[in-house]
């Protein structure tokens, strides 16, 4: 559920106001497990939801408890991971995540005690984990309310359409930033509305 304070604040934006009034975003299904959801996000990248869900379940079935324990994941060879449908690159990336969490002793880590940028800087050290992926983790796993994934195409296209933006490149990013500054401290929720609006228009 969107907090009432966020709904009221975002309704001050006259372009966003109709979206806030008409759309009720679904609750997050996240269990708050950053490690597992980071691995899952890599598996889901650039695949249809149906295909990714099938591969993800096959991947989980490799583990006795259905959970990709990092100590077990790092021991799986590439061919085993490719056997469940992962590409060579994704097989490498999910192992990179497990190796990083083990090396940095991050299982059970108290991420809530750290700022967004600190988490972004730390997790993007992992090869295969980019800024967008961590922004999604911040928004949906850690439920941070003021993340603005500027490079997300859904957010970009929705803002271009909703606000009639004609700029491109750096000028577009500047305009998006200016508009989104008025959404603080609820930029995450604004983006959720933009995504749902885009989906509803399909």
What are the chain's domains? 4-27+148-200 (1.10.1670.40), 34-141 (1.10.340.30)
Residue 105: partners with Cβ closer than 8 Å, 6 or more residues away: none
What are the residues whose beta carbons fall under 8 Å from the beta carbon of 28, sequence distance 6 or more? 140, 143
pLDDT at 1 (0 to 100): 85
Neighbours of 138 (CB within 10 A): 23
pLDDT tens for each residue of 90-102: 999 999 999 999 9
Distance CA 25, CA 2 (A): 7
- The pairs formed by 177-185 with CB atoms below 8 angstroms and a separation of 24 or more are 177/148, 177/150, 179/13, 180/148, 180/150, 182/12, 182/13, 183/9, 183/10, 183/13, 183/16, 183/148, 184/146, 185/145, 185/146
Is 152 one of the annotated active-site residues of the chain? Answer: yes
CB 190 within 8 A of CB 3: no
Alpha-carbon gap, residue 50 to 62, rounded angstroms:
19
pLDDT tens-digit readout, 118-175: 999 999 999 999 999 999 999 999 999 999 999 999 999 999 999 999 999 999 999 9
DSSP H helix total and E strand total for the chain: 12, 0
Catalytic residue (choose from 146, 151, 152, 199) = 152
Is residue 199 predicted with pLDDT exceeding 90? no
Asked whether the predicted pLDDT for residue 202 surpasses 70, the reply is no
- Strands in the chain per DSSP E: none
Q: Which residue, among 149, 141, 144, 82, has the nearest Cα to 115 in the 3D structure?
A: 144
Structure tokens at 49: 């939801």
Q: How far is CA 13 from CA 6, 48, 91, 128, in A?
A: 12, 33, 43, 36
Q: How many CB atoms within 10 Å of residue 64?
A: 8
Contact 63, 94 (CB under 8 A): no
- Poorest-confidence range of 45-49, 52-56, 119-123, 197-201? 197-201
Q: Which residues fall within 8 angstroms of residue 110, CB to CB, at 6 or more apart?
A: none
What is the DSSP-derived secondary structure letter of residue 104?
Answer: T
């Amino acid at each position: 559920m969107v907090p009432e304070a966020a709904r009221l604040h975002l309704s001050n934006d006259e372009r966003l106001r109709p979206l806030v009034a008409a759309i009720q975003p679904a609750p997050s299904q996240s269990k708050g497990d950053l490690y597992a959801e980071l691995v899952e996000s890599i598996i889901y990248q650039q695949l249809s939801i149906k295909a990714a869900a099938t591969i993800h379940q096959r991947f989980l079935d490799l583990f006795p408890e259905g959970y990709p324990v990092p100590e077990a994941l790092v021991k799986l060879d590439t061919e085993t991971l490719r056997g469940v449908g992962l590409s060579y690159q994704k097989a490498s990336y999910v192992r990179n995540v497990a190796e990083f969490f083990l090396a940095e002793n991050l299982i059970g880590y108290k991420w809530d005690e750290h700022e967004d940028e600190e988490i972004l800087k730390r997790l993007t050290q992992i090869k295969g984990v980019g800024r967008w992926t961590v922004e999604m983790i911040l928004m949906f796993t850690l439920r941070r309310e003021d993340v603005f994934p500027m490079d997300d195409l859904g957010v970009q296209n929705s803002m271009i359409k909703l606000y009639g933006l004609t700029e491109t490149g750096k000028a577009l990013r500047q305009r998006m930033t200016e508009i989104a500054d008025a959404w603080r401290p609820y930029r995450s929720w604004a983006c959720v509305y933009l995504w749902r609006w885009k989906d509803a228009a399909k």
